[in-house]
Amino acid sequence: MKPILKWQYDQIIKELLLLQEHQTDPTCPCQSDGEMCVRKHLMTLEAYAQETIPMEDNEEFKDKLQMLAGEAKEYRKQEEAALRDEDVPVSLVEWTRNWRKAFEEHSLEPQEEDVALTNKSDTEQE
């Protein structure tokens, strides 16, 4: 995996973790002092997923990223409506957990530079 792709997936996973934390921690003042944590993390997830799609060569993960971006956008619109008191907030705990699990193993693929170092080390040992 290219270092930039690894970085992108790390950011997506971090945003999913933060969003999950904001939704499960009752002490988080997510909507005080103008903070809109859930909306912010959904918007960031949407952006990272969209940005990562052209970097990804694996068609399965391109499709997953496209789905994540679309779902994040829909949930963001729903959250914006809730912030305007036009709808109710939705629990995204399972959604964030499921998406995190979908990307975690893929994000652990060795980076290209790590593979090159391993191959060099194997060659030197022969």
Highest-confidence range of 1-5, 9-13, 37-41, 117-121, by mean pLDDT? 9-13
AA identity, residue 80: E
DSSP string, 24-50: H-TT--TTSTT--HHHHHHHHHHHHHH
Which residue pairs, CB below 8 angstroms and at least 24 apart, start in 112-121? 112/1, 112/2, 112/3, 113/3
Residue closest to 1 by CA, chosen among 45, 47, 70, 57: 57
Residues 21, 32: Cα–Cα separation, whole Å: 16
Model pTM?
0.84
Do residues 8 and 65 lie in contact, with contact meaning Cβ atoms separated by under 8 Å?
Answer: no
Alpha helices in the chain (DSSP H): 3-24, 37-52, 59-83, 93-107, 112-125
pLDDT tens sequence across 91-123: 999 999 999 999 999 999 887 765 454 455 555
Average pLDDT over residues 80-88: 92
pLDDT tens sequence across 47-83: 999 999 999 999 999 999 999 999 999 999 999 999 8
The residue with tokens 């959904």 is 42
Record the tokens describing residue 114, joined without a space.
Answer: 């790590």
Record the tokens describing residue 93, joined without a space.
Answer: 């705990």
Highest-confidence range of 36-40, 50-54, 85-89, 105-109, by mean pLDDT? 50-54
Structural domain boundaries in the chain: 3-21+34-114
